[in-house]
Amino acid sequence: MRNAPKQSGSRRRTGGPAHLSKMAAECIAKLTQLLDECELGRENIARALSESAAQLIASRPEKPPRSGLASSANPTHHIFPIANQVVTEWRRDPLFSDDQGKPRLLPTNGRRSMTALVRNVSRSAKVSTVTSYLIGTHTVRRVGTRYKLTRPWILLQGKDGPWFQLRYIHQTLSTSINNLHPRPDTARFQRMVEHIRVPISRLPLVERHLERRGMAVLKWFDDLLRRYATEHQSEERGIWLAVALHLLQGEDGLSVHSAPSVKNKTKVRRRDQVQK
């Protein structure tokens, strides 16, 4: 009997079915632990998990795995972080955007080009592969001989979406569990600015400010962490660490008390004036 060929590279290990199954199991365990710490009651937790699983099985018949979702040969798990940073730099770097922050149309080669943009993010990435990925996800389209950025984010279609969302949930739960009983040397923090009645029409403005201001901060941290990683001594234990910027959206009914509308406030003010 021949030995099974060894998987080479982190892409094969992190993209395989075994790794996905392990990560999913860890997410369920971490969420269960978090609910238990909140004193929800273990019987209630078990009932909720069982009912959720039963509803899922009843509503969606089991389907064969989609090709590429957990395929060990799927290379896009490696491409996505680079492509995502390319989109960010395209909107952030004055070399590739105009005075209003709008991304320029870029040719293939030159000082202001797709090649220069990709090389600015990664020296080893293949420009044609990153470009094809961006075009395939409808993030970039060709305009004559140049490339146009069609949206400020990458739509994770089909095989890539579940993988990265599961990874994000796993990381968030790990941070939450860690901070329930933090040790001084491992505690992490999450600082947020949140308001419960933000008009949905303002979301494009919020996203624009996050892109221009927030990404400048993340770029600074990216350079800092890369420098620390380069200086890392082999005998010292290393950890995975990320500094992230998220736009978190909650349910519409999240607010406990509804603030009086502007019209109501105006009516009250006018009534008070009449009484005086």
Residue, of 244 and 41, whose pLDDT is higher: 41
Q: Which of 16-20, 80-84, 135-139 has the lowest mean pLDDT?
A: 16-20
Would you say 130 and 82 are in contact if contact means Cβ atoms under 8 Å apart?
yes
Largest CA distance in the chain: 97
d(CA 70, CA 64): 12
Six-digit token pair at 144? 């004559």
Per DSSP, which regions of 47-170 are E strands? 140-143, 146-149
- Is the pLDDT assigned to residue 245 strictly greater than 50? yes
pLDDT tens digit sequence for 37-63: 888 899 999 999 999 888 888 887 666
- Is the pLDDT assigned to residue 89 strictly greater than 50? yes
pLDDT number for residue 65: 53
The domain locations on the chain are 22-61, 76-149
d(CA 68, CA 124): 23
- Is the pLDDT assigned to residue 276 strictly greater than 80? no
Of residues 117, 146, 142, 143, the one with CA closest to residue 130 = 117
Q: Which of 49-63, 105-119, 191-205 has the lowest mean pLDDT?
A: 49-63
Integer-rounded Cα Rg, in Å, for the chain is 24
Phi, psi (degrees; rounded to nearest 5) at 242: -135, 140
pLDDT number for residue 187: 73
pLDDT band at 267 (very low <50, low <70, confident <90, very high): very low
Most confident of 87-91, 125-129, 178-182: 125-129
pLDDT tens digit sequence for 131-185: 999 998 899 999 999 999 998 878 776 566 677 778 888 888 888 888 887 676 7
- Is the pLDDT assigned to residue 26 strictly greater than 50? yes
pTM: 0.56
d(CA 235, CA 238): 9
Surface-to-core class of residue 77, CB atoms within 10 Å of its CB (0-12 exposed, 13-18 middle, 19+ buried): buried
- The continuous run of DSSP H or E covering 205 comes out as helix 203-209
Q: How many CB atoms lie within 10 A of CB 176?
A: 16
